């Protein structure tokens, strides 16, 4: 974990990831190893609260990944200030700044994986009912 990242409660979202120093556009925010959850455990994991913290590792194979560090704690934003890449070969997620992020700003990603993608797809893919 990076020492300049911290968690803070965000109204209506739970905990979110913040930075205590400026981050420049294009900078790597964090590289997080992932735990790969095999397809045999897909249904079981999706029936637990952990499902909200997982990313697909390989959607076609129904494998999930749980990012270590702050990786599974970034909140969603339709037009996020950070992006992520899943490096399957190295079993890690790489979070980078999409734009300059001032100190004490929440760092958000798009759960759909693409800038501006409707996040409800992320929830539908996991059979999570939106309130």
Whether 130 maps to a domain, the answer reads: no
At 59, the pLDDT band (50, 70, 90 cuts) reads: confident
Give how many domains the chain has, as a whole number: 1
CA 53 to chain centre: 7
At 50, the pLDDT band (50, 70, 90 cuts) reads: confident
Task: Tell me which residue range forms the domain holding 88.
Answer: 5-125
Burial of 26-59, coded b for 16+ CB within 10 Å and e otherwise, reads eeebbbbebeebeeeebeebbeeeebeebbbbee
Average pLDDT over residues 15-29: 97
104-114 tens-digit pLDDT: 999 999 887 67
CATH of residue 67's domain is 2.170.270.10
Plot region of 13 (φ>0 → left; ψ -120 to 50 → alpha; else → beta): alpha
Whether 131 maps to a domain, the answer reads: no
Q: Are strands 28-37 and 92-97 parallel, antiparallel or unpaired?
A: antiparallel
Distance CA 59, CA 112 (A): 13
Whether 45 maps to a domain, the answer reads: yes
Distance CA 25, CA 10 (A): 23
Distance CA 68, CA 83 (A): 16
Q: What is the pLDDT of residue 56?
A: 84
pTM attached to this predicted model = 0.84
């Amino acid at each position: 974990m990076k020492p300049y990242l911290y968690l803070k409660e965000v109204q209506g979202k739970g905990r979110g990831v913040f930075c205590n120093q400026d981050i420049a556009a294009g900078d790597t925010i964090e590289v997080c190893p992932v735990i790969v959850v095999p397809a045999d455990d897909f249904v079981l994991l999706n029936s637990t609260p952990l499902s909200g913290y997982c990313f697909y590792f390989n959607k076609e194979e129904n494998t999930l990944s749980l990012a270590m560090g702050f990786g599974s704690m970034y909140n969603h934003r339709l037009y996020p200030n950070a992006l992520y890449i899943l490096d399957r070969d190295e079993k890690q997620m790489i979070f980078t700044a999409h734009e300059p992020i001032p100190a004490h700003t929440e760092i958000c990603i798009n759960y759909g994986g693409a800038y501006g993608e409707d996040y409800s797809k992320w929830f539908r893919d996991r059979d999570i009912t939106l309130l």
